[in-house]
Chains A and B, each alone.
Chain A
Amino acid sequence: MWNIVRLIGLVFSVTSLLFAQAQATGGLTGKLTDASGASVVNAAVTATNIDNGQTRTAITGADGGYQFTVLPPGNYRVRFEAQGFKTLEIASVTIGATRVIADGKLEPGTSIPSLGDLGITPDQSQGSAQDQARLDKRSHMLKIHQRLGSITIAPLVATLSAANGAAGHKSTASERDLHAILGGVTAGMYLTTASFAIFAPKIAGTPTRGPIRVHKALAWIHGPGMILTPILGSLALEQRNRGEKVHGIASAHGAVAAVTAAAYGAAMLSVMVKF
């Protein structure tokens, strides 16, 4: 019974919160006409919050109408711009919890140039929240890639340090095991790091220039190297545990690991020199 009461209370709280948020935003709508009363289409309408400088842009439709569906309450300066007309500015419109109507009547003239006068179409001046979200996700994933990549240096250095003990003729099984465990941790962290770069959203039409080109090219060395090194390492470990001298393809483990570590270090440096 007590749980039901708490559940009802929770639902009531969430509903109140959502209602309060809905109340906290208003809207702005209106229609733009010329001196003859005809609709002005494709005009840019910019609402600038006077208090915090935040701007929103809308374009008038075929009926000259525009709307900002969600605007935080505050005082806004509203500017109407259309090619062939003088720019009209309403100094202050107060947006509260309800929708406010602000119509505009444009006079012919070109005393203040508009984006249309510069040959900029509404499509070029309108952004996409979806594209921004894609960029945000890309940056977020690459930031994790960068941090994990830096952290991976620690087990990588530890693995290289433990290699001396594991490689010698007098090496013990525990020294070899320690090297193998550290190598496994390094490879695991490396693959996690790499996955954040590989699966980060790609931005179409962006050429690769600058240090990032070197960074990506080096991945073709340390990437296969980070896969090959543990495979060769496990072969070498098996041979040593059987009391054999490391032979065949497994004897390349040390060299492949050294090249891989060097390429990884160079890849880190290539993006650290410039941000």
Chain B
Amino acid sequence: MNWKIFSGFLALTSLVGADGQWVLASSTLTYHVSHPIHQSEGASHAARGKGVCQGGQCNFLIAVPVKSFESGDTNRDLHMVQVTHGAQFPLVSVRVSLAEAALTSASIRCDVEIEFAGQAAKYKDVAFQALTKGNETRITGSIPATLSDFKIAAPSLLSIPVRNEMPVRVDMTWHPM
């Protein structure tokens, strides 16, 4: 009888291993904007994420509220929310689909689909670094986003607009569920 329970437990364990799930434990997402006389960054630690692996394929979804990005200046943050239509489209959602085998590699390349400011943009073959320690995996990298990808009118200072490039640095720590 005990042997049967043990066998059942083993079968269940292998099933979970095959179709694993990941949860985002902590994260820092940082956007960077450049102006001829000033550089500026805003960071958010409020992202939520989940990954589901099934049949050798993993799908990840990360969502972060637009208004959670802080640059140290609330006036600028409100202005960023305004230009990115953050009150109308309050979430940035990021979808990543990749082969489960890629998760064990130190370097991950994958397509990233972002919905932001009422627009969707896809970034092909974005490189991330992965470092696994114990049961947590830290993913770092940069997404080469631009303002025009999301049809965002560039905010300006002294009538000079910021540059179109708005790279987003990613630093995420994932745990298996």
Name A residues whose Cβ lies closer than 8 Å to a Cβ of B.
Answer: 46, 48, 52-57, 109-115, 117-120, 124-129, 131-132, 134-136, 138-139, 142, 203, 206-212, 215, 271-275
Is A132 touching B88 in the complex (CB atoms < 8 A)? Answer: yes
Is B40 touching A274 in the complex (CB atoms < 8 A)? Answer: yes
Q: Which residues between 42 and 101 of chain B lie within 8 Å of chain A, taking CB atoms? A: 48-52, 54-55, 57, 59-61, 63, 65, 71-76, 78-79, 81-83, 85-91, 93
Chain A nearest CB: distance from B58 CB in Å? 10
**11 A-B contacts (beta carbon < 8 Å):** A53-B151, A54-B118, A56-B118, A113-B61, A128-B88, A132-B88, A135-B87, A139-B82, A210-B76, A215-B75, A275-B156
Q: Which residues of A contact B55 (CB under 8 A)?
A: 111
* Residue of chain B at shortest CB distance from A112: B59
Q: Which residues of B contact A115 (CB under 8 A)?
A: 61, 63, 91, 93
Q: Known contacts A275-B40, A275-B76; is A135 also within 8 Å of B115 by CB? A: no
Q: Which residues of A contact B15 (CB under 8 A)?
A: none
Is B52 touching A127 in the complex (CB atoms < 8 A)? Answer: no
Q: Known contacts A111-B59, A124-B91; is A210 also within 8 Å of B72 by CB? A: yes
Q: Which residues of A contact B65 (CB under 8 A)?
A: 124
Please list the 6 inter-chain residue pairs (A to B) with the smallest Cβ-Cβ separation, ordered nearest first.
A210-B73, A275-B157, A131-B87, A212-B75, A132-B88, A127-B88
* Interface-central residue, A109, A111, A118, A142, by most chain B CB under 10 Å: A118
Is B75 touching A118 in the complex (CB atoms < 8 A)? Answer: no
Name B residues whose Cβ lies closer than 8 Å to a Cβ of A.
Answer: 21, 35, 38, 40, 48-52, 54-55, 57, 59-61, 63, 65, 71-76, 78-79, 81-83, 85-91, 93, 115, 118-121, 149-151, 155-158, 162
* Interface-central residue, A56, A111, A271, by most chain B CB under 10 Å: A111
Q: Which residues of A contact B156 (CB under 8 A)?
A: 275
Chain A nearest CB: distance from B85 CB in Å? 6
Is B82 touching A136 in the complex (CB atoms < 8 A)? Answer: yes
Is A117 touching B61 in the complex (CB atoms < 8 A)? Answer: yes
Partner of B35, one of A113, A131, A275: A275
Is B87 touching A132 in the complex (CB atoms < 8 A)? Answer: yes
Q: Which residues of A contact B120 (CB under 8 A)?
A: 48, 53-55
Chain B nearest CB: distance from A16 CB in Å? 30
Q: Which residues of A contact B158 (CB under 8 A)?
A: 272
Chain B nearest CB: distance from A137 CB in Å? 10
Q: Which residues of B contact A135 (CB under 8 A)?
A: 78, 81-82, 86-87
Q: Which residues of B contact A209 (CB under 8 A)?
A: 72-74
Is A46 touching B115 in the complex (CB atoms < 8 A)? Answer: yes
Q: Known contacts A132-B85, A274-B40; is A113 also within 8 Å of B91 by CB? A: no
